[in-house]
Amino acid sequence: MRAFPLTVTALAAALLLTACDDGGGGSGNKNSSACEIGGVSLQIGSASVAPAAGDTGEVPVSITNQSTPCTLDGFPGAVVSADGTEHKVPVLKGAKAQQLKLAKGDSASFTITYVRGKAADRSSLAAKTVKITLPGSAATRSFPWSYGPIALKGAEPDAGVSAFQQVGD
């Protein structure tokens, strides 16, 4: 009997198509794949470096999509490393994530804001690198941290990452 295997095959295909539905309705042309570190160019721009202990600095990070359309949905990740230990940079208080769809060539940015600590002080983190991650991906990209020590609030860096912002049109 061929009717049974054909029915099962049709049912399986329908279930697979339903599982792929993004639930958003519309034209079905939406691309919900997360942006990947390997598919974007990632740069740390000219920073507004905190000049002295207690001052606030800002480090802009820009992302330009180099491949197929992708989505930034959530917050960027930043981890600073010092003396073999890693410290996750929290999201800035009050920041609200927005979903950004990036076509090839589109750009977005976010900012790492930090309070400068005192050099060689126990209440400061002598950061050497910062690792960046994108939401929905575990891949990282490391950059040197050359903006001075970061003050600590308890055991955490006195720093934060902002939400993504669309760059350009």
- Does domain 37-167 sit in CATH 3.30.160? no
Query: pTM value?
Result: 0.79
The domain ranges of the chain are: 37-167
Q: Which residues contact 142 (CB under 8 A, 6 or more apart)?
A: 129, 130, 131, 132
pLDDT band at 9 (very low <50, low <70, confident <90, very high): very low
pLDDT band at 77 (very low <50, low <70, confident <90, very high): very high
Per residue in 96-153, pLDDT (tens digit) is: 999 999 999 999 999 999 999 999 898 999 999 999 999 999 999 999 999 999 999 9
pLDDT band at 62 (very low <50, low <70, confident <90, very high): very high
Instruction: Please report the pLDDT score of residue 88 as a whole number.
Output: 97
Instruction: Please report the pLDDT score of residue 32 as a whole number.
Output: 53
Output the 3-class SS for 10-65: HHHHHHHHHHHCCCCCCCCCCCCCECCHHHEEEEECCCECCCCCCCEEEEEEEEEE
Q: Which residue has the higher pLDDT, 62 or 8?
A: 62
